[in-house]
Amino acid sequence: MGRKAVDITTKRTIILLRASGMSQHEISPKLNISRNCIYQTIKKFNKLHTVATKPGAGRRSKLTDRQKRAIKLQQVRDDTLSQRYSRLQWCYQHLSWAENDWSNVIFTDESNFEILNRKNRIYIRRFRNDLKRFERSQSRVHKGGGVGIWSYLTCHGLGPIVFYDGSLNSDKYIDILDQHLPTAYEKFLPQSPRKFLLQQDNARPHVSIKTRKYFKKKKD
């Protein structure tokens, strides 16, 4: 492993100390930096009149942009396969559950619905000299016309439909649980005084550190 890089603030301190009359031998123990590093910093400043790193300096990437995109796509595919495997394992683990076991489960989920920017896009190839290409185009509105919906399902009944704006994050998810899960608990109390299970998927708001701390606090 190489030595730790010297930050730009330390390099500026080297130049200031050198300008004040200190020698390189005196600066080295004061800043706990090798004399060679001090020498190279001063040499660079005398030549370029700056201690900042040039744009593009450093080791060049051996991967092209296309290779980076391919790696990212493969990672997404691997994550999808991992999620499928986890769901399959969950099903195998609960094959022996009876109706009485499932009666203590609260199933929750959410989904986003877009009216203007739908994901099922249609792409059409046109010639450049096609004068009517703009007449057959449809205008789009970015970041608009969508709504998020959350709810839960139990054997004792359905939960309310909860609407939220934008993407679901940890704060919104925790706020929804605080406001609407008590109604789910009330459905269980007359029939079953036992503990019940909140079933959710592995969406980021569900498994974030903030959400896990929230569940741990509620469990304690």
- Consecutive sets of 10 residues in the chain, 220 residues long: mean pLDDT of each? 72 89 89 89 87 72 86 77 80 87 88 68 65 60 72 86 89 92 73 72 87 85
Other C-beta atoms lying within 10 Å of the C-beta of residue 196: 15
- C-beta of residue 163 within 8 angstroms of C-beta of residue 180: no
* CA-angle at 157, arms to 149 and 105, nearest 5°: 85
pLDDT at 86: 81
Which of helix, strand or coil describes residue 17?
Answer: helix
β-strands 105-114, 197-199 pairing: parallel
Supply the pTM of this predicted model. 0.52
pLDDT at 65: 86
pLDDT at 211: 92
pLDDT at 145: 63
Q: Report the C-alpha gap between 158 and 150 in whole angstroms.
A: 12
Q: At what angle do helices 35-48 and 24-31 cross, to 10 degrees?
A: 120
Mean pLDDT (the chain, rounded)? 80
Residues whose CB is less than 8 angstroms from the CB of residue 208 and which lie 6 or more positions away in sequence, other chains included: 170
pLDDT at 6: 82
